[in-house]
Structures are given as C-alpha cells and as structure tokens.
A and B are shown apart, each in its own frame.
Chain A
C-alpha cells in the first residue's frame, strides 16, 4: 500500500504537464453554461415562453457573451 501511495513522490518534480489552468476551467464552465443558456432560449421559444422578438434579442445577447468567452479562452490558452 505504501508503495502504491508513494509512487508519485518518487517521480521527478515536473512542472504543469498537461494540467488544466484554473482560469481555463472557469472559462470552460462558463462557456458550457452559456451554450446551455442558448439552447434553453431556443427551447423556450419553441415552447412559446419567448416571442420571436424576445428570443432574437436574448439570443443575440447570449451569442455576444459566448463569443466574448471564446475569445478570452483563446487568449488564455494562447498565453500558456
């Protein structure tokens, strides 16, 4: 058991191999939530909870926010 547990300790210290940047994690979570919001808005329109005009406005806004998130993600990833 001790061997199993201490395997990682006997590795040489490596810096951030393939690990996720917390900033990326945050943006990914937001992006996913944003996609979900876009999809919900579409379903809300289909179900008649949003009129076509309301949906167009909400959808445009959501997409703008999503694009901003994607740009941020690109920046953060590019900066790594």
Chain B
C-alpha cells in the first residue's frame, strides 16, 4: 500500500507539472493543450483522492508500517479520531492541502469550461504550480512531510493521537482552516490570469467570487471551531488568546472579507481594480503564511508543532507570490484604471471603501503584532513580544467601528443618496440604539465599560437596521404579491440570495461581537485553592468542593483526577459540575523518571460548565500534586535501578517495569482519592459567550444562502429585464 501511495504522489507531481506545461502551451492559443491541461487537473484530483483513501485506510487498519500512522494513531484510538488523525501530522496536512486544491481547481475548471479562453490556461498554470509545489514538498522535504514514509520494522503499537487534539471541534478545525486557505488559490489564480492577459474587467470576478465566499465560509467555520475547542479544552477559560496561529487564520479572513465587499464595487461600477487584485494577492499570501506558521515553529505558539523542513520552501513560495504579483500589478497599472469616479462620498461604494480600510487596517495591526518578535529581534537584538493587551487595545476600536458598518452598509444606496432619504431610513435604528443605550446605562453594569457600551449601542443600531431591511423587503413584496409574512420573507430571500444572505451574515457577525464584548468586559474570574468540603463565593454563585474523583484507563494510558463541585445560586442548588484533568503516558518521557514524566507531560483539562443565554458558569481543576512528590521520586529511583539491571531489552523484564509503573500511577490515584490534597480551581462567570456560537451559526446560514445557486430565479429575472429592455430599445 505504501508503494501504491508513493506512486500516486509521484504521478500526482507529474500530472501537476504536465498541467502547468500544457496550460502554458494552451495559453499560446491551441485549445487542445488547454483541454489537455484541464484533464490533467481532473487526473490530479483522482490521484490525490486515491492517496487520501490509502492513508485513511492505513489509519483504520492501524498499519504502523506507515510512519504517519505510527506517530499519530494507535490501536486504542477511537475510530472517529483515527479518520481525523491524518491532519494532525505534517505529511497528512500537506496531502490535505494538495487534495482540496485539486478538487477546487477541478470544480472551477469544470464550471468555466468553454469560457474565459484566455484567462483559464494561465489560471490553470498558477493553480497547478501551487499544486506541484505541495506535491513536491511531500516527496522531497523529508520523512516528516511524506505521508507515505515507511517504518521498518513496523512497531507493534502507535504513539496515539496527541491528547489535546481528541476533541470533536479540534477534529474538524484543521481541515476547515486549510480548505479556507486553499480556496483563496482559485480567485488568486484567476486574478493572475486576468493580469497577464490584460482582461481586467469584472468577468474573472464573476467566475470566482463564489470560491472566495466558500473560502471565507470555511475560514469562519475553522476559526470559531478553534475558539470553541480552546474554550472547552484548555484550562484557562478563554476562546481567543491572540496566539500567532490564531492570528494567522484571522488575517486572511479579514482581508477576504474586505475582498468580498470591494469586488461588488468593481462588478457594478468598474472601480477599485488595483485594490481588488492587491487584496486577493494579500489574502492568498496570508493563507500561505497561515500554513507556514503552523508548520514552521518560528513563533512560539501552542500550535507550532516544532521546527520542520517545510518552512523555508513555503517562505520562498510566499516571496515569489508577493514579488511576482507586485511586478505584474505595477506593469498593468494602465489597464487597471477605474472606469469611472466615485459619484458621491455618501454612497454604498464609499462606505465599502471605508469598511475595506478598517478591515485591512485591522489585518495590518494583527500582522505587525504577530511578527513583532521577529522585528524586534532584528532591530534590538532581543526578542520581545506584544501580548494580548496590545491587540485588544488596537483591535477594540476597529471592531467597534466594524459593527457600526455592518449596519450602515446595507442602509446606504449605491451611487448616491440624499440626506432626506438617509434620515428616513436611519430614524428607527437610531431610536432603537438610543433606547438600548439608555436602558443599558440605567439597568446594567455596562455604564462602567465605555467600549462595551459603544459596541452594544452600535450593534443595536446595526441589528435594527438589518431587521428594518428585511421588514421593508417583506412589506414591499406583500404589497406587490400579497401572501403571508413568512411566505413573503422566503420569496424575497430566495429571489435575492446574495443580498439577504449577506445581510444575515451581518446579523451573525454583529451578534457574535456582542458576545465577544460581553464576555471580555464583564467576565468574573477567580482562582480558588480549596480542600474537600470548603466553599467560596464567585459572583452570585457559591461553589463547594464536595469530593475528589479519580479514574485510570485500562492500561494506565490515562489518569483522570477531578472534582465534584456543588454550585448554589441565591441559596438554591444551581448545578453540579465535574471538571477533570487528564494525564497521559507519553512515549517520549524521560526513561530516568517515567512517573514524574507522566504527571508533567501532556495533560488536558475537561472543563465543567453550564451554558446559558445570559452567562456560562465555567470551572476547571488543577490538582496540586506536590504532596506526592516524594512518593513519585522514590518510585522513579526504584524503577531506574531496576531498569539498569534489566538493560538489554528482555521483554519479560520490560513488561514487569511497565507493570510497576502502572501500579505506581494507580497508587497515586488511590491516595489522591483517599486522602485528597487541596486543589486549584479556576471559576469563571462568562457572560454572553453563548451568543458567539449563535452569531456564528447565523453567519454560516447567511453564507450558505448567499452561496446557494439560484439558477431558476436568476433566469426568470434576466428574461424579465431583457424583455423590458427590448421594449425600451425599440422605443429608443
């Protein structure tokens, strides 16, 4: 199977390179070469699909002759996580990248067959150039990067999946992010094709905007899944830490969001051409950078899986992409002249320009902050970093402004708008925002938090403006065609999917940011050190540490120490929570102190939590094991002594050592339960976090509506207008 897989990869590289060459030949005018290159792309998709199937089959069969499988799975790994273990490895994630790229390229080439005769061959060459690059990485960047690296002899058991990654959100987070990154390749490739052929009208955008929206949707899913994982699995109680890899996914999201808005201006008004090609180049470069950061280890991060061999080549690719694109754009500046000027500073296109500057500005701030350690090291010689306070201080005002624009944008008409109409349309949203603000000041703690208060006021404005948009659309529809309110709503949405889908995304983002503002400004967080039976008060809640819990998995692979917490609110029982901390045996533990290594190796927190629309009650436990230090040391010394005596690898003796180690771990667990030491608890009351996930869902539904193909409706409308225009034509 390994041989077959490697053969697939080699053939894939050949297919990708052939596609590049054939596409370039096709670009000189011979359609046959262009058709052949398209078929080579389909072939690449087939080959890589086969490669993915082979890898997944190896995971399912626990075939440890695959180095990939031995390093990231084991016979005891649950089946679901066997399937998702592929992308926790470097080789597997490169394969995923190339595979998704081949599928997306096939899709776009299938959709544009017979169209864009000049652009498509160049775009194919770009897409397959990137594809060949990733195939080449897998084949030539060392065994870490090769999904089909062989282990000979194959070990009897694998290392298992990294404990932190055993979580449903984490299983889907990497492929979503990667798919988001990959899909930006498509509009990028077409932009390059359009630049080379000087076909810089909106037709390349028309053919690829859907792919940009798909990229955006995948990134949105991936980013929030990561946040959710962090919230439920890491013991510090937050969903966002401004970690370099988190930032790396947010930057292309911001730039992609700007792109999705500004291409509308080019489609309709023929403006912002330089800006649009620059944005998609930036989005694609940032997507590559995201891939690079995860895999390079250049910045300290919980995601950086150690230094690796694929970092430098990706960096070179980013350099080529940026440099080549800039040269290309500068050489085509004459063709990128706007077709007309801005009619009015008070129009939707002007608002889009401002929102673009905000989003790109925010992206630039995050970029600077993320790479500041490298900059400061280059300038001052010492590596210093900017922490979350830096990001929060700069991102907060920009995010607040962005919320305002999610409401203003949809309200303003294209081209121009009179002040009279503007007043008529902002009247109600302004009134709602004013009422909400007064209510917040009068009845809540928001008065002490000016930033949060401003954000809530802006969000109230935006949400009521968006509701008004839907309401007016429904009213107009019912005036025209009658029918019920839901019927009319369904009708207007299905007839204008991009418009109303987009508005729904705005609703979702506004709701999400309400959750972010609420949970960051009004969080109550306390660290408690409690013995069983002791209580403490956190906010309106009283927490009692009832008793410790412990369990050890079958072959002492995992030890779980936890606590039963009784939570009372206003004197009444509120809930019982069971936060735990899991410790895992690790293959790379120091042989001189195996038991100590067990407790200081990989550990994960299972958060004990009740979610509510108002607030989440969130707890994590960290047992204090200092009392067991002497015991652990004694056992480790004894094990080391035995280990020395049985050196040479007598399997029976080794099994005995393992059994002793297991007994020691069980011993610690039993003592922990019988005579429990006090434990550290982190108890958070996190307001409004649930609205982050709700806003996310709303935004995703909106994005899906905007993506949904609407062939029927569009055809009807097109005919209608054509007929009407024809009438006017005959009069003209």
Contacts and interface: CB of A to CB of B under 8 A. Distances in A.
A19 B117 contact: yes
Contacts of A39: 496, 717, 721
A40 to B, nearest CB: 6
A48 B425 contact: yes
Contact of A29 (B18, B202, B417, B721): B202
A51 B717 contact: no
Contacts of A32: 206, 718
A26 B199 contact: yes
A15 B148 CA distance: 45
A6 B413 contact: no
A58 B47 CA distance: 53
B725 A70 contact: yes
Given A37-B268, A54-B421, A49 B116 contact: no
A46 B205 CA distance: 29
Interface stretch (B27-35, B59-67, B385-393, B528-536): B27-35
B33 A9 contact: yes
Interface string A14-50: 1010111010011011101101111111011011111
A46 B472 contact: yes
Contact of A48 (B414, B424, B718): B424
A11 interface: yes
A20 B117 contact: yes
A77 interface: no
A79 interface: no
Which of B32, B420, B499: most chain A Cβ within 10 A?
Answer: B32
B411 A1 contact: no
In the complex, which of the residues B199, B414, B499 has the most CB atoms of chain A within 10 Å of its own CB atom?
B414
Contact of A50 (B11, B40, B417): B417
B499 A43 contact: yes
A26 B268 contact: no
B421 A70 contact: no
A63 B15 CA distance: 48
Given A47-B425, A51-B421, A67 B729 contact: yes
A75 B191 CA distance: 28
B136 interface: no
Contact of A67 (B18, B473, B496, B732): B732
A35 B718 contact: yes
Contacts of B469: 47
A40 B116 CA distance: 27
Interface residues of B, number: 56
A40 B412 CA distance: 11
Interface in B405-426: 411-418, 420-422, 424-425
Given A19-B117, A49-B421, A40 B36 contact: no
Contact of A1 (B15, B116, B203, B732): B15
Nearest to B420: A51
B312 to A, nearest CB: 32
Contacts of B201: 26, 29-30
Given A46-B472, A47-B472, A30 B425 contact: no
Contact of B32 (A11, A20, A66): A11
A40 B206 CA distance: 17
B203 A49 contact: no
A16 to B, nearest CB: 8
Contacts of B31: 8, 13-14, 16, 19
Given A9-B33, A22-B199, A41-B414, A48 B472 contact: yes
B729 A70 contact: yes
A41 B712 CA distance: 22
Given A18-B114, A48-B421, A35 B717 contact: yes
B115 interface: yes
Contact of B414 (A1, A6, A28, A37): A37
B340 to A, nearest CB: 11
Interface of A: 1, 4-9, 11, 13-14, 16, 18-20, 22, 25-26, 28-30, 32-33, 35-41, 43-44, 46-51, 54, 58, 63, 66-67, 70-71
Given A29-B201, A40-B499, A50-B417, 12 more contacts: A5-B15, A7-B36, A7-B39, A9-B36, A29-B205, A29-B206, A30-B202, A35-B721, A37-B414, A49-B411, A58-B415, A70-B729
13 contacts: A1-B43, A4-B39, A5-B18, A8-B32, A8-B33, A9-B32, A20-B116, A22-B118, A22-B203, A37-B268, A48-B424, A49-B417, A66-B721
Interface of B: 11, 15, 18, 30-33, 35-36, 39-40, 42-43, 46-47, 114-119, 197, 199, 201-203, 205-206, 267-268, 411-418, 420-422, 424-425, 469, 472-473, 476, 496, 499, 717-718, 721, 725, 728-729, 732
